[in-house]
Chain A
Amino acid sequence: MIGIFFWLFAALLTVSGLLAITRRNAVSAALWAAVSFIAIAGIFVLLQAYFLAVVEVLVYAGAIMVLFLFVIMLLNLREEDLQVLEGPRLHILGVLLAAGFLGGLVWTCRRAGLYDAKNGAIKMTAESVGETKSLAAPLFMEYVLPFEIASFLLLAAIVGAVLITKKRLT
């Protein structure tokens, strides 16, 4: 039963992800990206990581993509405007970035001992990610310093964004 749902969500994720990067229309691309986030949330649910599933929908599909959509609609992008960005250079850069990201992910999983070499898959620790508490404990105790550094970076980015949009500081 769970197997069927996994393949359903995985197929949805792959298809919507591909559509998100190939659609010419910026609004459709954003919407397909939102669908892919929901598919990811579905896979999290199958792993019994309910908290992650809900946060995935809440933050990515519910907030970040809506902001994207808001900006796209405000700018009213047309296809001609996007032609500037075409060309092989951008494609090569994109593939390199994606490969780099995937490599980093695999490396981190191996280092953290999550990689099961025998089956060639990530070890599942379902019971450890389902509960809010078991997620919060390492985040706010063991890894509190990286966590705070990340939030500090975000804060700096917000201040920077406000500063850029303010034409003149009085």
Chain B
Amino acid sequence: MKLLWTVVEVSVVATVVLPTTAALLVWAERRVSAFMQDRLGPNRVGPAGLLQPIADLLKFMFKEDVVPGHVNKVMYVLAPALSLVPALVAFAVVPYARGMAIADLNVGILLVFAVSSMAVYGVTIGGWASNSKYSLLGGVRASAQMISYELALGLSVVPVLLVVGDLNMQAIVQWQADHVWLVVPLFPVWVIFLVSSYAETNRLPFDCPEAETELVAGYHTEYSSMKFALFFLAEYIHMITASALSVALFFGGWSLPGVTFPDGSMGTLLSGLVFAGKTGAFLFLFIWVRWTLPRFRYDQLMDLGWKRLLPASLVLILATAGGVALLGGTN
């Protein structure tokens, strides 16, 4: 029974929830960016253009799937899949409602980092296998950028673990439900986490791997049709996971201060809606930032990652450890 439920959960989340959310996110991004630039954006297909993602998907599927002659075929075909799979797997430990997560692991938060550290392979291999200047530069940039910011991202989670004393995602959310949202005592840590997660997802202001003004489209220059769509989907699912992590680690997950959810499935559903709402807010922030800030130069990106965020997160770990020791610790 447990196994059956897990299979159902995995298939629903991986094939329905995440891709649909990603598709809606693409629509939201186009609409929001249009409003920010005093345009209307896609509004023809369906009410308010809501069915635009379906039209886009059909277009992606029926476009000719071009495999250029100069590519390394095996790697070229493998790369989009390598990019999408980690994005889907990383979501497995996200505690999306009270008592609910596909995999409730004791090392949950580490699994997210382990799996998303694999995401760089898809981008790097895609860039290399395309055998083109722009793609290669995009791939090289992606691997350097993602390794650099993984450090700051990983270290920015350590204070959370120090305070909570557990690697389990549900335990981290439960701690926040019992005490206080971690963004309150750890605000600077959250800022580092947020900036690093933007760099990890290759989103503006850190989208150097696909900087269109310099690299055409970076690592996916040579990709077309559904293969391009997979890269695209992976990027948006990474955004969803990053937002969900921000919510779960710093903004109380499914909990609301002063609100006790009723027992049973009703409470689970309500907590899930709260989680979805908070994640949605963070997704909006992603879009908002993208259409507000210009792109960093590559050296500025490295400078920020290594010379500012990394030392800052180390100092914050020390400060948090000191604070936890002074206040008696959690365990």
Contact = CB atoms under 8 A, between A and B. Distances in A.
Interface of A: 27, 31, 34, 50-51, 54-55, 57-58, 61-63, 66-67, 69-70, 73-74, 130-132
Given A57-B115, A73-B128, A66 B121 contact: yes
Interface SS majority for chain B: helix
Given A63-B147, A70-B144, A50 B107 contact: yes
Contacts, number: 69
Nearest to A74: B140
Interface SS majority for chain A: helix
Interface of B: 75, 105-107, 110-111, 113-115, 117-118, 120-121, 124-125, 127-128, 136, 139-140, 143-144, 146-147, 150, 167
B144 A61 contact: no
A132 B115 contact: no
A54 B114 contact: yes
Contact of A73 (B107, B140, B147): B140
Contacts of A34: 121
Nearest to B144: A70
A94 B309 CA distance: 41
With most chain A CB atoms within 10 A of its CB, the pick from B75, B127, B143 is B143
Contacts of B117: 57-58, 61-63, 66
A69 B140 CA distance: 9
A34 B118 CA distance: 10
A70 B105 contact: no
Contacts of B146: 66
Contacts of B118: 57, 61-62
A50 B106 contact: yes
Contacts of B75: 27
